[in-house]
Amino acid sequence: MYQHVAFSILFEILDVCERGDCRNWVIQEIEKQKINLEALRTHPDVQKDLLDDTLNKLNRVSKKLTAVSKLGGHMRESEWLMSLRNRFVTPGATSPMDSPSYNAWMNGSESERLQVMRSLVDPFMPLYDAIAMSLMVLREAAEPTEEVTGTSGIFEKSVGGRIYQMVRVWVPTGDRIYPEMSGNKYVVMIRFFNIDKDFQQSFIKKPIQFKMALCHV
């Protein structure tokens, strides 16, 4: 069954890759990070060994992604996979009657299925590694601060016109709450919602303690 879910995810990744040039977009973002990090080298508080290590890691993932000619090409070259892709968008279309070859494959050897899935996933790994590294650099660019919403349940923070690339929010573990965020270059606004046992959501109109980090590289 997990292979069925894996196929759904792979087809979604392929859809994303076909909508735009995500490969070059990720490479460009990494190049921007490298330039901004390199500019910190003259800062007296910068740990140069850590900076060099981060830049080397960014260089490695960028080179591996650059070497990929066309993301998802290995899947598009398979007539069977493209036929299966069309089946996945239609509810019930992967039934044994409508997709006998797929169900025969699903009932085959587990080791062979795993081998096929690895062959489909591996070509996407340079993209995954590059995105993961870029996000790690961005997430570690700011330390979280202790914050609390107002009595109305809304938190607002002025950012003075500075543009941040990511807002991270931590809530107490075990609480069934989640943040809703909005903002612009002048202010960030956060409010929290609760999810009850019936999965109904409601706005929390009381002070909520949380941690927040405004990240930019």
Q: Is 64 exposed, middle or buried (0-12, 13-18, 19+ CB in 10 A)?
A: middle
Range of the domain at 198: 142-215
Residues 122 and 174 in one domain: no
Residues 7 and 45 in one domain: yes
In this structure, what are the phi and psi dihedrals at residue 112, rounded to the nearest 5 degrees?
A: -70, -40
Residues 133 and 149 in one domain: no
**Dist. CA 112–CA 114, nearest whole Å:** 5
Distance of CA 110 to the CA centre of its chain: 29
Residue that terminates a domain, selected from 138, 165, 188: 138
Residues 87 and 116 in one domain: yes
Residues 23 and 84 in one domain: yes
The CATH number assigned to the domain holding 196 equals 2.60.440.10
Q: Give the per-residue pLDDT at 176.
A: 87
Q: Give the per-residue pLDDT at 59.
A: 97
Instruction: Determine the average pLDDT of the residues in 78-87.
Output: 93
Q: pLDDT of 90-121, one tens digit each?
A: 888 888 888 999 999 989 898 999 999 999 99
- Check pLDDT > 70 for residue 1: no
- Check pLDDT > 90 for residue 8: yes
Q: Average the pLDDT over each of 11-15, 88-92, 176-180, 192-196 and give the range with the smallest value.
A: 88-92
**Dist. CA 195–CA 177, nearest whole Å:** 6
The CATH number assigned to the domain holding 109 equals 1.10.3900.10
Residues 88 and 101 in one domain: yes
Q: What angle do CA 8, 14, 18 make, to 5 degrees?
A: 145
Residue 71 near residue 129 (C-beta atoms within 8 A): no
Query: Would you call 56 helix, strand, or coil by DSSP?
Result: helix
Q: What total number of domains does the chain contain? A: 2
Q: Give the per-residue pLDDT at 31.
A: 97
**Dist. CA 138–CA 136, nearest whole Å:** 5
**Dist. CA 178–CA 182, nearest whole Å:** 14
Residue that terminates a domain, selected from 138, 153, 171: 138
Q: pLDDT of 184-194, one tens digit each?
A: 889 999 999 99
Q: Give the per-residue pLDDT at 68.
A: 92
Q: Is 33 exposed, middle or buried (0-12, 13-18, 19+ CB in 10 A)?
A: buried
Residues 8 and 64 in one domain: yes
Residues 68 and 131 in one domain: yes
